[in-house]
Each structure stands twice: as structure tokens, then as C-alpha cells.
Amino acid sequence: MGVLKKRILVTGGAGFLGSHLCERLLADGHDVVAVDNYFTGRRDNIAHLLDRTSFEVIRHDVTFPLYVEVDEIYNLACPASPVHYQFDPVQTAKVSVVGAINMLGLAKRVKAKVLQASTSEVYGDPTVHPQTEDYRGNVNPIGPRACYDEGKRCAETLFFDYRRQHNLRIKVVRIFNTYGPRMHPNDGRVVSNFIVQALRGEDITIFGDGTQTRAFCYVDDMIEGFVRMMATPDEITGPINLGNPIELPMRELAERIIALTGSCSRLVNRPLPVDDPVQRCPNITMARETLGWLPTVQLDEGLSRTIAYFERILNCRKIS
């Protein structure tokens, strides 16, 4: 028996994660409506999908209501790197909160199931390690990252209030550092920064002393987690952590990328940004037990695929 065909809305559909999700949902046989205002999303990310009759793109800002008929909604719309979300912090908060309200309102009207792409940033600079879903976080509500951290926390609040008040079918996943092809080359995130600097032979900038750690999940694994979460019974709401539980110091990540690219770049240290967490790593017990999900792509394999992508776009055009 084939998959039941659904009409699925992906906000932020031209972004890094959104474009991969659209691709996956189309491959699974669904009709997909991608919505993006192209602030951080790029048409190049979805250009190869435009000739598909089951794919539709709408240029739209989710801070304004949207009227479409869909069965499921993946709410991914929001700038997700400090460079982008701090560019216009008020708008970032509006996208997180008003965008969530609009997508929840849409889901209520059309009786759709809706998944919120939340973030490990809801944990702030954690005092518990690794982070479990019941940890309530250590967030500075007035700091430069708060527009995103608190915006996403408020979005989660709204999702669960809509569940309690309107019995809406909700799913919430908390995304930990994800990387792969189609990352924005100027998003300021560590993987894209290091790869672009290494390919150009520039100094690789390490903030702090390089001992701070992150755990990196390849994009295909993350998308698999999204799809599995959406398919769970209605009583499973999350939040559920999705990420790779294997930690890596920033200095070691830089050294791996230098080795994989054959670069002669040097490592240089810069001061750690305000409120930048020293450690962040997911406890994924809930994802493993509830979704049967585990990351499968090894770091060097994922980095090699990501490096190949950046080599292509650096050869095709100058990144400015």
C-alpha cells in the first residue's frame, strides 16, 4: 500500500533545512507548498524542484497571515544564526512569536497537524550537561541573543497553549547544531565559517580558546527526525531533542576541516561573543526511544559532502 498523499506546508522552505525537507517530502510522494520571504532562504536552494508539478512556492512573510489548505505544517521560518537573527532582532522576535501565532491559527482553521522547529538555544548557556528536555534553561532575557532564544521559548509556549486550549495537534522538536550542503555561506556558523576560510586559505577564526564544544548533526539525519516526529501519534507532542550527542571541541573541528580540505590556513583566536554557550550537547534518549531515531552520518563523511558543496559554489561565484 502506498503512502497517503498529503498537501504539506513548509515555512522557511527555501532555507537550509527547509529546502532539504521539501526535497524529502516530495520524494515521499507528497504535494509541498514552500513559503519563504528570502531573507536568509535562497532560490538556488530550491531551483532544482521548481519543475515538479507537486511543488509550489509562495513568497510570503509569516508575520502576516497565510490562507492555504494543507494537511500538515512544518514551521521552520526564522533566521537561525547569530549574524542573521541579530541583524534585525525585533523582526526576529516577531517571526518567532507572530509567525508561530499565524501558523497555529492556520492549523486551527484547516485542522492541520503542525510541527515547530524549535532550538537548543532555548537552553541558553546550560548549567546541566548534556541537556534533557525537562531542563528549563539558563537564558539571559535581555542579552543580544534573546531575540532568538526567548522568541523560540515563547513560540513553544504558544504551541502548548494551543494544544491545551484548542486541542491542536502539535509537535515540537529542539534542533541542535546542524550542518550540510546549502548552509548559507555567510551565516557566521562555525562549520560554514571554517570551511569557507579553509578553502580560501584564510586564517580560521576560533572564538574563545577553542575548548568550547558543540555536537554536530548532518542535515539528512535531522530531516529524518522531523519526518519521524510528524508521523507519531497525536498524544506525542514533544519537545524532543534532535542532534548528535558526540561532542567536539572547536579547535578539533577546525583541524579536521583543514585536513579534509588540504588547506594551509592557520588558527587564530578571537574573544568569545556575549552569552555564547561553552558547552551544548543533546541527550537524545527520548528521540531514540520515541522515534527510533539516531544520527547515522559520521562527521568526516558529512564534512566531506559539505566541503564539496562549498567548493562548487566558491568556484561558481564569489561569496560576498
Whether the bond into 144 is cis, omega within 30 of 0: no
| Alpha carbon distance 150, 100 (integer Å) | 13
Residue among 148, 162, 179, 218 flagged as catalytic: 148
**Residue 11: what are its φ and ψ, rounded to 5°?**
-80, 145
- Give dist(CA 259, CA 304) in Å, integer: 11
133 close to 240: Cβ distance less than 8 angstroms = yes
d(CA 260, CA 240): 33
- 2, with CB counted inside 10 A (0-12, 13-18, 19+), is exposed
Which three cell numbers mark 218?
548532518
Locate 309 and state its grid cell: 558543496
Cis peptide before 277 (omega within 30 of 0): no
User: Quick check: is 148 catalytic?
Assistant: yes
Encoded amino acid at 244, one letter:
N
Q: Report the C-alpha gap between 8 and 51 in whole angstroms.
A: 17
Q: List residues bridging with 213 in a β-sheet.
A: 249, 279
- Residues labelled as active-site residues: 148
